[in-house]
Amino acid sequence: MKQGLLKILRDIFSSSGYHVAESYRHDMVAEKNGYKTLIKLGIDPDYADIKNFADQVTDGTGLYVTTHTMADDLCQYATESGLLVWDRDNVALQIGKAVLADIEGTTADLELVPPVDQQAPNQPKNTGFIANEENSIFGMFGQNNVKESTPVPEPMPVPQPQLDRELLPHPENIKPLPCEPKTPMVLNLHAAPLNITKEHALSIAKQHVGIVENVALKFVPFWQYRYSINIEQQYKSKIIDISGNGGGCLNALNGNNELIQINEVHDEIEVPDEAYDVKGPILTRDQANRELLGIIIGDHTKDIRFDSMVGDTIISEHKLFKPKTRDVNLDIDLTYLPIWELNGKRNSVEINGYNAEVLCNPVGDDVEFI
């Protein structure tokens, strides 16, 4: 619903000569003749959300759009905070009028309306944009057209038999505008699913790197492994148990052994419709197998001290117990992990796209991370 509404708003502004850009801080920025309008879409508006958005608007005008009906006191608070407001009824009416204008083949030159507190006392309240006098069908960007502070009656629309008026007030029923979201791409790759969106990764990275200048999605190969050891060794009259089990992921690019848990792996995964990079493994299966065996045997090696009495003397003896290669049951599988790499001005951060974990060690050898 949100993406569809953003698409509709973007098309309307673009067709009216506005330069429209996405914004990770807000939802959209529309600019024309050097004047910016910062657009924020709210699901369930409250005072905190309104105040937070108003505090962020330091350049241009803030337009708060919601598909819910906003309470009068909350709307007044937003207006007093310097924001323009479109709530559910206003948005539905504006979109319906835009469809009529599109069917009639008319266009409009949208102009910004000054904030409500700057309008004349006898002027009708405006909560967005208005159309110029010649194309009043785009009165969708305000309550009425205005000329010299005097309300002008809205012209009656030309009857259109093929239109169902019951559909016009509801954005989800409007068909002429292409508002369908992009279909995700399917990647044939043995990988953990991408559960973290780009927007979510940006919000996480903000507290680590500040302003994010670049975002990249990459799939990094890991040798995912599980092992078990079930062995006991005897020394004199003592039985030494060196059994154990565990698992993890060995980075196939730099050889780092990571305690990453991957519980879900697919041979096909959905990725967003944007550029991505699939890294090829540097460590082969044999190399990974040898390295993991060395790590596992080292982790399960025990240096045990034995004390014995010879006469009045205590004699201490150290004995090393460790499993042999044949004692280790090891299974490894090459699995790709989606990683969001976000670069700021001074440093960068990598975020696990599977579980939103901020990685402590870089997944490659070419970049220094915080």
Boundary (domain end) residue, out of 148, 173, 198 = 173
Residue 357 lies in a domain: no
Do 139 and 198 have their domain in common?
A: no
Do 151 and 212 have their domain in common?
A: no
Do 264 and 290 have their domain in common?
A: yes
Which residue in 220, 225, 221 sits closest to 295, CA to CA?
225
Specify the residue for token string 């991408």: 194
Residue 228 lies in a domain: yes
Do 199 and 149 have their domain in common?
A: no
Q: For the chain, how big is the Rg over CA atoms in Å?
A: 32
Domain coverage including residue 104: 2-173
Do 166 and 191 have their domain in common?
A: no
Q: Which residues of the chain have pLDDT under 50?
A: 112-152, 158, 160-161, 163-169, 176-177, 179, 367-370
Which residue in 262, 253, 197 sits closest to 220, CA to CA?
253
pLDDT digit string, tens, across residues 84-107: 888 877 777 767 666 666 666 665
Which residue in 323, 334, 332 sits closest to 294, CA to CA?
323
Do 18 and 155 have their domain in common?
A: yes
Give the total number of structural domains in the chain: 2
Residue 161 lies in a domain: yes
Do 75 and 21 have their domain in common?
A: yes
Residue 360 lies in a domain: no
Cα 113 to Cα 61, 128, 139, 197, 238: the distances in Å are: 10, 6, 11, 35, 88
- DSSP category for residue 359: P
Give the C-alpha separation, 69 to 168, whole Å. Answer: 17
Do 134 and 44 have their domain in common?
A: yes
Report the pLDDT value the prediction gives residue 72, as an integer from 0 to 100: 85
Report the pLDDT value the prediction gives residue 350, as an integer from 0 to 100: 94
Residues 144 and 119 sit within 8 Å (Cβ to Cβ): no
Amino acid at 332: I
pTM (two decimals): 0.48
- Work out the number of other CB atoms within 10 angstroms of the CB of residue 104: 12
